[in-house]
Amino acid sequence: MEIVVASGKGGTGKTFVSSNLTYFLRSLGAKVVAVDADAEAPDLLLALGGASENVYSREVYRSRKAVIDHGRCVSCMKCFETCRFNAIELSNGKPVVVEEYCEGCGACSIVCPSNAISFVVKRTGLISCDVSKYGIKVVTADLEVGGRNTGELVYMAKEEAHRIADSEGAKYIVVDAAAGIGCPVISSLAGADILIVVVEPSPQSLKGARRLLEVAESFRTRNLLILNKYDLNPNFSEKVASTLGIEVLGKIPYDYTIVKAYASMTPFLAYSSGGRALKPLVESFRTLYEGVLK
């Protein structure tokens, strides 16, 4: 069963929820594999205590980049006019590919009248599997700096997690999705069973969550809501719940202990024997486990 934790906006506490949910399931004795699908800024492994063992790391070379042969180029500028990603600039009257922006779509090579554009394959990023300090396998998608193919990298990381889950008999895969609603989030949602939307009581977070749920409509996930830091604005929290109209799994109050746990690379559930957020968090996960996952 694949559970995706996403938010539609950064900074709402989705890694906090996904790392602690993974830890919670593990503490029940369930086998679980975690996936860090936030390929531009992966930190789930750190939130789960860091690596005690690197099982493997594999470089991924899948990114196609256009290359212009200026010996053949007749400076017609058709490639410049065609590129929708602004990946071709002009320099001294000649087209130049800005590699960081190139999506490898091939449109420029189709319109080029002198067959001057070819492609090279570049590094997309790294897929690694580590065992965390708490004995949990974490698959991480780590995008190359300036890289573009996040969706594909996330897809590959999830495939890897399913392979590990199948071979080890793990029932649960917890995916920490990227912020926003772009390609990596769509790849995270594809094939998932449950979507946990983490929202804080702010208009920006609500807007992000609404957009995320619109995207999720195509994937038929069961959608659940966790209101994080709900007590910072209780009235707005009520508005979030009624506006989104999905089942509320729990309301977690702001708790500075969470910040301290995060800074010490320890899941909150492993760090705190008290704290105001502890009971509501455990109750949320218990509701999820008893009512949905079991």
Among 75, 118, 204, 218, binds ligand SF4 (CB under 6 A): 75
List b or e across 233-259, with b for residues whose CB sees 16 or more CB atoms inside 10 angstroms: eeebbeebbeebebebbbbbbebebbe
135's tokens: 């004995």
**Does 118 sit near ligand SF4 (CB under 6 A)?**
no
Q: Are 130 and 140 in contact (CB under 8 A)?
A: yes
Q: Shortest approach of ligand SF4 to residue 121 CB, angstroms?
A: 13
Least distance (Å) from ligand SF4 to the CB of residue 123? Answer: 16
CA atoms within 13 A on the CB side of 261: 24
Contacts (CB under 6 A) with ligand SF4, residues 49-68: 66, 68
Contact between 117 and ligand SF4 per CB under 6 A: yes
In the complex, minimum distance from the CB of residue 93 to ligand SF4, in angstroms, rounded to a whole number = 10
Taking CB under 6 A as the binding criterion, the range among 102-110, 138-146, 239-247, 266-274 that sits at the site for ligand SF4 is 102-110
β pairing state of 32-36 and 137-143: parallel
Residue 88 touching ligand SF4 (CB under 6 A): yes
By beta-carbon proximity to ligand SF4, the closer residue of 144 and 160 is 144
User: Least distance in Å: CB of 80 to ligand SF4?
Assistant: 6
Return all residues near 145 (Cβ < 8 A) that are at least 6 apart. none
Query: Applying CB under 6 A, does 192 fall inside the site for ligand SF4?
Result: no
Fill in the amino acid letter for 84. R
The answer to whether the CB of 176 falls within 8 A of the CB of 44 is yes
Whether the CB-CB separation of 72 and 115 falls below 8 Å is answered with yes
Single out the residue of 112, 206, 269, 281 in contact with ligand SF4 (rule: CB under 6 A): 112
Instruction: Decide if residue 288 touches ligand SF4 (CB under 6 A).
Output: no
- 230 burial class (0-12, 13-18, 19+ CB within 10 angstroms)? buried
Q: Does 96 bind ligand SF4 (CB under 6 A)?
A: no
Residues at the interface with ligand SF4 (CB under 6 A): 66, 68, 73-79, 82-83, 85, 87-88, 95, 97, 102-108, 111-114, 116-117
